[in-house]
Amino acid sequence: MAKARSLVGLDGQATKIVASVLDVETGQLQAFSMGGEIERAAAFCAGWPGPVRAVYEAGPTGYGPARELAKRRVGALRDLVRAREAVRVDLTRCRHRVSKLLLGHGIRFYDGRAQTDRHRQWLATVTLD
């Protein structure tokens, strides 16, 4: 993937789209609101200094934006967002699996919140029979 000059984040609602644009070279961040038309949002993305990379919520409505952005040579990072969400869900499942395993052995962490440095240090000391 080519290095991006402009990064665009789109949040689509039923009647409007909110966009945030980051100019990678200057660090300037701007927010915009527009109507909910996909074509208009894709044209908006394509109008920024390139290369442009866009990210938006991936779901059943993501195919239209993907096609429109591709027509205008804007990279859509939909797969990246899906992959990130999948990793987040996997991480949560693994954390729950470890905590339930320890609870099943009567082992509890009492020294603050879980998933902190202190908790991870404590986990490194735990041994199971």
For residues 108 and 49, membership in a common domain is answered with: no
For residues 48 and 28, membership in a common domain is answered with: yes
For residues 12 and 54, membership in a common domain is answered with: yes
Who's near 25: CB < 8 A, 6+ residues apart?
5
pLDDT per position as a tens digit, 60-84: 666 777 788 888 888 786 666 677 7
For residues 67 and 19, membership in a common domain is answered with: yes
The residue ranking higher by pLDDT, 56 or 6, is 6
Rounded to a whole number, what is the largest CA-CA distance in the chain? 62
For residues 87 and 102, membership in a common domain is answered with: yes
Stated pTM of the model: 0.57
Who's near 57: CB < 8 A, 6+ residues apart?
10, 11, 12, 81
Residue 104, token pair as written in the block: 């099943």
Residue 127, token pair as written in the block: 């041994």
For residues 16 and 57, membership in a common domain is answered with: yes
Domain containing 89: what range? 82-125
For residues 63 and 16, membership in a common domain is answered with: yes
Residue 1 maps to a domain: no
Strands 6-12 and 75-76: unpaired
Q: Is 18 in contact with 44 (CB distance < 8 Å)?
A: no
pLDDT per position as a tens digit, 82-112: 777 888 899 999 999 999 999 999 999 999 9
For residues 50 and 111, membership in a common domain is answered with: no
Structurally, how many domains does the chain consist of? 2
Please report, for the domain that includes residue 39, its CATH number: 3.30.420.40
Residue 68 maps to a domain: yes
118 vs 106: CA distance, rounded Å? 19
